[in-house]
Amino acid sequence: MALVNIKIEGVRHQVEEGLTILEAARKCGYEIPSLCDFNHGECNRGSCRVCLVEVKGARGLVASCVYPVNDGMEITISSPAATAARRMSVELLLSDHNQFCQQCDKNGKCELLHVANVTGARADVFGGVHSEVHLDKVAPSLVRDTSKCILCGRCIERCKNAHGLGILGYEGRGFETFVSPAGDRSFTDSPCIQCGQCVNVCPTGALMEHSEIDKVDKALAEGKVVIAQAAPAVRAAIGEEFGYKIGTPTTGKMIAAMRRLGFSRVYDVNFGADLTIMEEATELIGRLKNDGVLPMITSCSPGWVNYAEYNYSDLLDHLSSCKSPHQMQGAIIKSYWAKEHDVAPEDVFVVSVMPCTAKKFEKEREQLKVNGIPDVDAVITTRELARMIKRGGIIYNMLPDEEWDRDIMGQYTGAAVIFGVTGGVMEAALRTAYYKLSGKEAEPIEFTEVRGHDGGLREAEVDIEGTKVWVAIASGMKAAKVLLDEIREGKSKYQFIEIMGCPGGCINGGGQPYVREFFLPDEDDDILDTYKEKRAQALYSEDEKQTIRQSHNNPQILDLYEKFLGEPNGHKAHELLHTTYEGRVGFNDIEE
């Protein structure tokens, strides 16, 4: 990459050609206030005017987020004109913004409030009429409140870049412009996959997860047997909410915190992940041996399942019929666990702690009820659990490290841990499929060819004692579409495909802690590029530490089948652990 010479505040620097002024300034040690999202590569195209600077020879101030550097450029950030202009830009945004900050779940992580503090913006400089508020609280997963929206467009671009979708867009014109699904529909009336990636990039509280903390509070107050179960990706990220560096697993403290919040039992969803592998690997082998529908596609990600039902209803037979791990575990808790503890299923309240907002939608599916009783009653995100811990006055860093409850269920293997990473479900399934097909364990245990994050799309040929199995892994629907179109056209060479709704997998789910460099002052300079890898490594490290690393060797899982379920994919297992899918309408099918 060619270098160019520039001056910032009169100091000479050499930077890469092609950078914007904002990017170059950051590399040279300057922090220009901005509302651009370098975390995921989406930018607001200079519309907010918060990052204005002076460039010698330019006509007026320029937006540094879109203005490229060139050789000999002289940039001034701290001139009176630039600082005053940036302050006014923020004040104009505040003039049409809901300023009930204490009532906002984004308080403490709000980028607008951050730049207001940096620029010295005042909230009451401009008065007048406020634009009409559009509030959507109907969808189980997401809430949209345009009173907090600054029209930056980051959510619009994120939906396009991650999924190739255009669920959100600008509606209206001029002062009446707002962001919404087409026709100001609710998320629930649009083909939104409920993944929450738009929430992850929203700089304010205009887009948030639909909180279910009140449901948990109510169940605890009513004296129900409230059982918590946490997904593997949660432990890899929740510490970030309490000052730990990204990639630091704080499993023991998370367990201790949940016990102090009043949960009767605290289980690891990894047990459900091992159960899922037993069912899914058996299903795959059955399809391979009996000329079943191939390729078989994993069904653990509810965002992906939503996408398939909206856009590829003709391919639903390719999806594994397995429920996702937390739904499987919820079904076992309300059947086998409840029976063994002499508790009526309706008196058990299962709370899943998830990195994913789409899980909130998933638990509402009619197909995920047994005899009218839902497998899971409430889903809270990693962020929501952190809010509950802080609200409870618990000093997270001072908690002891405690262990999961493991009565009847809760023991898990290394294979289950890696479910939270793209390629992890595939690798876990291959470890068990290899054994079931060959009668011996894979050596080495790891299938590293299915690991990685590059491009969101990977493939590998796996040799299982002479049986060649072509597999593919996709994360984000933009990558998945390539594989799905091949299947639709009859050109797919694969037997097994893993699809994750969120780029990078669950570690980058829509309910995970926000990654913004100014809220993480102690992180490495490259954290915006490496945070997914750091979270992933936390899970791979735990896998390596486990004594048992294949799901089919989990003694509690084997005991569950012997005493209750029978055999994998058997009648009882299908009744409790499997599901069905149905096509749903998208924008083009909705009558005006």
What is the domain partition of the chain in residue ranges? Answer: 3-94, 131-210, 214-515+527-577
Please name the amino acid found at residue 102.
Q
Q: What three-state secondary structure class fits 170?
A: strand
Q: Which CATH architecture has domain 3-94?
A: Roll (3.10)
Ordered per-residue pLDDT tens for the chain, 592 residues: 799 999 999 999 999 999 999 999 989 999 999 988 665 556 656 778 999 999 999 999 999 998 999 999 999 999 999 999 999 999 999 999 998 898 898 998 999 999 999 999 998 889 888 999 999 999 999 999 999 999 999 999 999 999 999 999 999 999 999 999 999 999 999 999 999 999 999 999 999 999 999 999 999 999 999 999 999 999 999 999 999 999 999 999 999 999 999 999 999 999 999 999 999 999 999 999 999 999 999 999 999 999 999 999 999 999 999 999 999 999 999 999 999 999 999 999 999 999 999 999 999 999 999 889 999 999 999 999 999 999 999 999 999 999 999 998 989 999 999 999 999 999 999 999 999 888 999 988 899 888 876 667 899 998 888 888 999 999 999 999 999 999 999 999 999 999 999 999 999 999 999 998 777 877 776 776 789 999 999 999 999 999 999 999 999 999 999 999 999 999 999 999 999 999 987 654 544 3
Q: Is residue 494 a contact partner of residue 470, using CB atoms and an 8 Å limit?
A: yes
Residue 548: phi and psi, rounded to 5, are -110, 130
Quick one: fold of 131-210? Alpha-Beta Plaits (3.30.70)
Q: Which of 336, 333, 367 is nearest to 348 (CA)?
A: 333
Hey, what's the torsion of the CAs at 157, 162, 164, 165, to 10 degrees?
-70
Q: Which CATH architecture has domain 214-515+527-577?
A: 3-Layer(aba) Sandwich (3.40)
Can you say whether the dihedral through the CA atoms of 339, 343, 349, 350 is positive or negative?
negative
Hey, what's the torsion of the CAs at 411, 413, 415, 417, to 10 degrees?
60
Return the bridge partners of 226, or none.
349
Please name the amino acid found at residue 441.
E
